Structure 1
Amino acid sequence: MGKSAADYILRVRAGASYDPTTLQTAYVNDEQNPILIDTPHFTGYLVVRVLNFNGVTPDPSKPLLPNPASNYFHGRNRRYSISIQGRFKKDWNGDEVIFGTDFDTKIRTPTGCGLAMKIAKWLDPALEADLQCEKPWLYSPFVSAMNALAVFDPSSPEIQNPSSSHKHHHSSTSSSSKSNRISPSDPSTALQSLSLSSSQQPPQIGLWSFHTRMVPEDPALLFPNPSSAPTLTAYEKRKKHFGVTQTRSEVTLSSSHIYAMDFYDAYFDFGTLTLKLPGFSVNALRYWDGQPLRFVCRTRKGMGKPRGEDDGTVFFTVVFELVEREGANSSLRRKSLKGVG
């Protein structure tokens, strides 16, 4: 008998490298305790949300969080999201940084993949992809790929004191309302989990500010003269504006600014392993070969080349992978007995 979606559970890992041994299992839907990524290229907080999550947690002794404490998913057509607040450690041209998915080996594409790509290109004209090569990839420019993007000055009250500077857009738990202060405690640490109980002052990226509110749309600081920047108050406007190379090349991802971003997907359901696009749906399990769904924020340099030849610069990665339910449960039980998180 073939495997079904019920035979697998989801594990999400994050980090700043293609090397899977460097990735940390994320506590999905824990908006209070982001992962901190701190490398020579990027430093930032990262939170992953998954609707109706029922997968692997880094610590089996803690309760699983099926959904966020906030109402992030309420009334919104979203299945999962990746939220980041951080800064680049050098300036980058707006056309140089990309975000998307890539794979280590060839993938099986279903009938109708061509139509799906046409829909994707219609949704995002700047999208580039090669799904037939040895290491398939699908990328879009960072400035147009993110569903929400805000750029802040480090002194902005949105970042330094988010609880008092901005009215919350949705509800939070009582513990989150007591303290929003979270910041890197050791800049030399590449990857760690943080807690809102931290009271240390933020050295580089401010306070983790988006556990109880949405990332706003405010990209004005991308432009050399923000006061005369085009009015891009919605994702669709920003995506259209940055749909051509020239306009992307005219902006800078400055190391002196803090970037808040939210990427979400309305089409893939990890619970049923179904991709639902306008007009048709696909049972992804029929075509899955065991590879994870890997999201990468990186530079164009080395894009599409075999790994190891020229990987360019990687800023952060988030890996969604399916593991067999029985094997995962056994592993978690062993860890729990040993007291290992």
Structure 2
Amino acid sequence: MAPRFRVLAGATPETMTPITSKVNTNEAHRIVSELFEGEVVVNIKGFTDSEGQVKDSDYFSREDRQGITWSLQVRGRFLKSYSADDILFGNTFDRPLKLPWGSGAALKFMNYMDPTLTHDLSSSTKPWALSPLVSTMPHLAHARIPSGSPHERDFLKPDSDFSGPKIHDVLPPFPPSQSLVDDTSQIHLALSDMGSPRGSSSSASSSTSSVSSTLSVAHSFTSAVSSSSKKSKGSSGRASKIKDAVNGLHTGRKRKKVSRPGLDLETASQRRSYFSSAEHRQAIHFGPKDVITTDFCYGFLEFSPTLSLRLPGGISFDLMRYWDRQPVRFVCCERKETAVEGEDPWGALFWCVAIEVGDEEEGPEVEQ
């Protein structure tokens, strides 16, 4: 029988809540803290929840996701400005790992997949494996919320300080009906030095990718807020106008192409190669005006009929033999400048998702 799992998500391990019932449903879970605001969606092929129910998702039947067995999709924004070199993604653990014989091959495979990966998985305290988010994500899209709105300053305030429209009110539904496609045509707007970016120019086309839609929504947001400010002073009126603008995006209306200077990173491979340079990452700063959408999806982990790791060349590991039941935690966190003995080797957390073995004797979980 396939192992049963529980999935949790939140801003920190201490504030995570169960989202098992949302796995493979395309229902997003909101995460809001002082540092990050966003949504997460989890898909796991052949997922068996803690009650023994097997669920699957249409995500895995898409032509461009064949061979994929799991996916963590996140859309959100950082509420403070961070260098792209200081925003990391990966795994952290609370106690030492029981690494199987041959794990060196797995580590070599990981470094092949992501040359920017750094880790200390043999740590006697808290193992970890982290990479810069902008260079490790297999799929990433970026969009800049445009300047000029009379209520832009209010919109960019932290969630706790503003009762008006939030990112999930303004942007199209998440996740999108189509798979995320790399789109970094506006990432040059996040350059800390707005000098001459590499490359000549790029076009912001009317494609169906999620970020192109995001840009359209952002412009609609500007005009909607401007219009609503003349008719209503309340935040609820502004939100209503914004939602109307969002709904208008699905009319199929074509938009003019606008030529803008960019980094000419047309594919995920080009993006990952370009941002393998620490210098390039340090030149980019993401803040409240930058909407980032990612899809961390691969096929080397299988969750059914057992939890296993399968590598090229026929190498495989039955992970249930070595798993000591501590949660497998995926985190997005800040790089720690200097290590301090007795403290976590990583910095502040933006969001995290954990997968753990479900206990058969547990009753239905309570989600918040």
Q: Displacement, 1:219?
A: 1.8
Pairing 1:290-305 to 2, within 5 Å after superposition: 290-301=325-336
Select 1:137's aligned residue among 125, 128, 131. 128
- Which residue does 2:220 correspond to in 1? none
Contact 1:153–1:256 (Cα < 8 Å) also in 2:
yes
Matched, 1:127 2:127: no
- Which residue does 2:56 correspond to in 1? 67
Residue 106 of structure 2 aligns with an amino acid whose one-letter code is A
Q: Displacement, 1:234?
A: 1.9
- Which residue does 1:151 correspond to in 2? 142
SS at match of 2:269: helix
* Residue correspondences, number: 282
Matched, 1:315 2:305: no
- Following the alignment from structure 1 to structure 2, what is the Cα–Cα distance between the partners of residues 143 and 30? 27
- Following the alignment from structure 1 to structure 2, what is the Cα–Cα distance between the partners of residues 35 and 141? 23
**Larger helix percent:** 2
Contact 1:105–1:135 (Cα < 8 Å) also in 2:
yes
Contact 1:10–1:270 (Cα < 8 Å) also in 2:
no
- Following the alignment from structure 1 to structure 2, what is the Cα–Cα distance between the partners of residues 300 and 102? 13
Q: Displacement, 1:319?
A: 0.1
- Which residue does 1:164 correspond to in 2? none
SS at match of 1:105: coil
The 1:65–1:254 alpha-carbon spacing in structure 2 relative to 1, beyond 3 Å, is: farther
- Greater mean deviation of Cα atoms: 123-132 or 232-241: 232-241
The 1:143–1:327 alpha-carbon spacing in structure 2 relative to 1, beyond 3 Å, is: same
- Following the alignment from structure 1 to structure 2, what is the Cα–Cα distance between the partners of residues 248 and 87? 17
- Which residue does 1:44 correspond to in 2? 38
Contact 1:51–1:73 (Cα < 8 Å) also in 2:
no
Runs of 4+ in 1 over 4 A off after TM superposition: 69-75, 186-189, 302-311
- Which residue does 2:283 correspond to in 1? 250
Deviations 1:230-283 (A, max 9, x none): 222222221111112111111111321211111112111122111001120001
- Which residue does 2:210 correspond to in 1? none
The 1:72–1:84 alpha-carbon spacing in structure 2 relative to 1, beyond 3 Å, is: farther
Contact 1:100–1:296 (Cα < 8 Å) also in 2:
yes
Contact 1:35–1:46 (Cα < 8 Å) also in 2:
yes
- Which residue does 1:81 correspond to in 2? 71
Which sections of structure 2, spanning at least 5 residues, go unmatched?
148-157, 198-259
- Following the alignment from structure 1 to structure 2, what is the Cα–Cα distance between the partners of residues 291 and 135? 12
Select 1:265's aligned residue among 269, 275, 298. 298
- Following the alignment from structure 1 to structure 2, what is the Cα–Cα distance between the partners of residues 112 and 221? 43
Q: Displacement, 1:301?
A: 1.4
The 1:309–1:147 alpha-carbon spacing in structure 2 relative to 1, beyond 3 Å, is: closer
SS at match of 2:135: helix
Deviations 1:165-209 (A, max 9, x none): xxxxxxxxxxxxxxxxxxxxx9459xxxxxxxxxx9842352334
SS at match of 1:140: strand
Larger Rg: 2
SS at match of 1:8: coil
- Following the alignment from structure 1 to structure 2, what is the Cα–Cα distance between the partners of residues 322 and 311? 25
The 1:309–1:132 alpha-carbon spacing in structure 2 relative to 1, beyond 3 Å, is: closer
Pairing 1:183-198 to 2, within 5 Å after superposition: 187-188=159-160
- Following the alignment from structure 1 to structure 2, what is the Cα–Cα distance between the partners of residues 327 and 304? 41
Deviations 1:271-330 (A, max 9, x none): 211100112000111111111110000001178767756762211000011123x324xx
- Following the alignment from structure 2 to structure 1, what is the Cα–Cα distance between the partners of residues 138 and 165? 26
The 1:267–1:36 alpha-carbon spacing in structure 2 relative to 1, beyond 3 Å, is: same
- Following the alignment from structure 1 to structure 2, what is the Cα–Cα distance between the partners of residues 308 and 23? 24
Residue 298 of structure 1 aligns with an amino acid whose one-letter code is C
TM-score, normalised relative to structure 2: 0.69
- Which residue does 1:286 correspond to in 2? 321
The 1:39–1:65 alpha-carbon spacing in structure 2 relative to 1, beyond 3 Å, is: farther
- Which residue does 2:230 correspond to in 1? none
Contact 1:303–1:311 (Cα < 8 Å) also in 2:
no
Residue 283 of structure 2 aligns with an amino acid whose one-letter code is E
SS at match of 1:327: coil
Which sections of structure 1, spanning at least 5 residues, go unmatched?
1-5, 157-185, 190-199
Contact 1:269–1:275 (Cα < 8 Å) also in 2:
yes
- Which residue does 2:4 correspond to in 1? 9
TM-score, normalised relative to structure 1: 0.74
Amino-acid identity (%): 28
Matched, 1:212 2:246: no
Coordinate RMSD, CA, aligned: 3.0
SS at match of 1:107: coil
Q: Displacement, 1:47?
A: 0.5
SS at match of 1:238: helix
The 1:81–1:138 alpha-carbon spacing in structure 2 relative to 1, beyond 3 Å, is: same
The 1:71–1:154 alpha-carbon spacing in structure 2 relative to 1, beyond 3 Å, is: farther
- Which residue does 2:94 correspond to in 1? 104
The 1:270–1:188 alpha-carbon spacing in structure 2 relative to 1, beyond 3 Å, is: farther
- Which residue does 1:275 correspond to in 2? 309
